[in-house]
Amino acid sequence: MKKALTFVIPVRHQDNARDWGKLKSNLTATVKSIASQESTDWKAIIVANRGADLPALPAGFDVKWVDFESNPLHEQGSVDKEIFYEAVRLDKGRRILAGMLHAGPMQHVMVVDDDDFISNKLAALAASNPQANGWYIREGYVWGDGSNYVYRFADFSKLCGTCYLIRADLYELPASFEQASDEYIKRMLGSHIFIRDFLESNGKPLAPVPFVGAVYRVGHVGSHSKSTSVFTQYFPKWLVKRPVELLRRLRRLSFISPSMRREYFGE
């Protein structure tokens, strides 16, 4: 049965994980976040290499097992930055494609990175607007792993890959995995930086999600971006010499309230 929103969660090859225990713990938290949707009109597909030790999954989740080789260029800094990005886009995009093809009929699709969190209102948004092209998350939170604070980021879709809900037909998926070119996989699926402009140029613009839509986890050992903590990123020492900018940023910093824990963390 077609659901209003299908979540696809690509999980890297276990040989590419610096700490599989931490990855599994992060994935468990992401699963909990997804499973807390206010609407039941959703399903989720985790894409993982055969043999991966996944956490227990609640109702609504399915696993697409794949036999992809590990990505030899998975560590940033080991090669030229663009070569690294292209390798990550191909690896991630292949997993997303496998998950979408496995899912069957879909209304809207959202790719969720295996360490992020989402608002529990997203499935209801898709369910109430079945013909919409989709949405991008304009405002989201940045959360330092283990912190009690979040930082509201005003251009979230340019920061984090967990940022789009797109009507499935707009992906123009191939009939089979083998029919997809590497270029299609990298540009349409493997990165979040191309598809919004592509859709807009083809007369299918995305609308902004009308609430804070997701939480980007930073500062943990498994991060591809090698991101640092919220305070290190957004409150460097030089800000003390720019009090107006410091005040502006402090206004974007929030203590994680019980209602936020329910909406994003499934608590």
Lowest mean pLDDT among 17-26, 77-86, 197-206: 77-86
Distance in angstroms (rounded) separating the CA atoms of residues 188 and 170: 10
- pLDDT attached to residue 76: 61
Please compute Rg for the chain using Cα positions: 18
- pLDDT attached to residue 30: 98
- Asked whether 116 and 173 are in contact (CB, 8 A), the reply is no
Confidence of residue 248 (pLDDT cuts 50, 70, 90): confident
- pLDDT attached to residue 173: 96
CA distances from 27 to 114, 165, 192 (A): 5, 20, 20
Contacts of 133 (CB under 8 A, 6+ apart): 166, 167, 170, 199, 204, 205, 206, 207
- pLDDT attached to residue 140: 97
The widest CA-to-CA distance across the chain, in whole angstroms, is 58
Give the percent of the chain with pLDDT over 70.
94
Query: Whose CA is closest to 44, among 52, 53, 54, 170?
Result: 54
User: Each residue of 89-133: pLDDT tens digit?
Assistant: 999 999 999 999 999 999 999 999 999 999 999 999 999 999 999
Q: Is 91 helix (H, G, I), strand (E, B) or coil?
A: helix
- pLDDT attached to residue 127: 98
- Asked whether 189 and 101 are in contact (CB, 8 A), the reply is no
Determine if residue 21 is left, alpha or beta; phi over 0 gives left, psi from -120 to 50 gives alpha, anything else beta.
alpha
- pLDDT attached to residue 106: 97
Examine the pLDDT at 2 and tell me if it is beyond 80.
yes
User: Each residue of 183-208: pLDDT tens digit?
Assistant: 999 999 999 999 999 999 999 999 99
Which of residues 81 and 142 earns the better pLDDT score? 142
User: Each residue of 131-173: pLDDT tens digit?
Assistant: 999 999 999 999 998 899 999 999 999 999 999 999 999 999 9
- pLDDT attached to residue 74: 66
- pLDDT attached to residue 228: 61
Examine the pLDDT at 48 and tell me if it is beyond 80.
yes
Examine the pLDDT at 230 and tell me if it is beyond 90.
no
Query: Whose CA is closest to 66, among 93, 106, 104?
Result: 93
Distance in angstroms (rounded) separating the CA atoms of residues 51 and 159: 32
Q: Which amino acid is at 237?
A: K
Examine the pLDDT at 224 and tell me if it is beyond 90.
no
